[in-house]
């Protein structure tokens, strides 16, 4: 079983690379994000390999890290998601966000990948949530909760709105950082945040 290949990438195709390892050329299927991560120019590199066997042959799938390889293995363990489907997901979604979405139950994000419908996204969450929570711990992936995502979105929208009203970013950030716990608990939307900020910003 091939664990990784180390050699020179001599060709880059849409969904694969050709690696020269000791004079032997290996075709390795990779994601679009893998190709984007390659340094400028064709160079010597190390690629982690998943060796897939099927009835009509075999294929090599390559990854930039052990983490990406593990996520791929977890994805193809789900009925209805083969290697090509997993590669499509990893081409369109960031690996850490896939982990985060499954752990947080974010079916909407998962179904934004081509070929992944709502039912498949729900099955991914149901079957992989616990496993990927362990993977996130093993590879030290920071999982941001949906609540934290919402808070970040609200704060960013508030900053943009207040800057359009003529306030500078320094006084806006100073105001937001000075929100009390009572202020924060009362904020449920961008409109709430803007209202509180306008009340407080006059004091700074």
Residues 6+ apart with CB under 8 A from 23: none
Radius of gyration in angstroms for the set of CA atoms belonging to the chain, rounded to a whole number: 22
Q: Is 140 left (phi over 0), alpha (psi -120 to 50) or beta?
A: left
State the pTM of this model.
0.69
- pLDDT at position 192 is 82
pLDDT tens-digit series, residues 120-151: 999 999 998 888 877 766 656 555 556 666 56
Say what the pLDDT of residue 41 is: 64
Q: What is the pLDDT along the chain (204 residues), one digit of tens a residue?
A: 899 999 999 999 999 999 999 999 999 999 999 999 887 766 778 999 999 998 888 999 999 999 999 999 999 999 889 999 999 999 999 888 898 888 888 888 888 899 898 899 999 999 988 888 777 666 565 555 566 665 667 777 888 888 888 888 778 877 877 777 777 777 778 888 888 888 888 665
E-strand stretches of 40-186: 44-54, 57-63
Burial of 161 from C-beta contacts in 10 A (0-12 / 13-18 / 19+): middle
- The two structure tokens encoding residue 54: 């099927």
């Amino acid at each position: 079983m091939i664990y990784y290949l180390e050699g020179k990438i001599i060709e880059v195709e849409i969904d694969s690379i050709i690696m020269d390892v000791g004079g032997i050329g290996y075709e390795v299927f990779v994601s679009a994000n893998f190709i984007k991560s390659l340094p400028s120019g064709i160079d010597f590199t190390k690629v982690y390999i998943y060796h897939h066997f099927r009835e009509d042959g075999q294929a090599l799938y390559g990854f930039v890290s052990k983490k990406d390889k593990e996520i791929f293995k977890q994805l193809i363990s789900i009925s209805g998601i083969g290697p090509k489907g997993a590669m499509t997901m990893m081409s369109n979604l960031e690996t850490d966000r896939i982990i985060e979405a499954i752990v947080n139950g974010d079916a909407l994000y998962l179904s934004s990948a081509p070929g992944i419908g709502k039912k498949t996204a729900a099955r991914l969450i149901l079957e992989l949530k616990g496993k990927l929570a362990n993977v996130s711990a093993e590879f030290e992936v920071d999982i941001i909760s949906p609540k934290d995502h919402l808070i970040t979105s609200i704060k960013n929208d508030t900053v943009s709105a207040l800057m359009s009203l003529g306030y500078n970013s320094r006084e806006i950030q100073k105001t937001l950082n000075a929100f009390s716990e009572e202020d924060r608990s009362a904020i449920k939307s961008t409109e709430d945040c803007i209202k509180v900020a306008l009340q407080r910003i006059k004091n700074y």
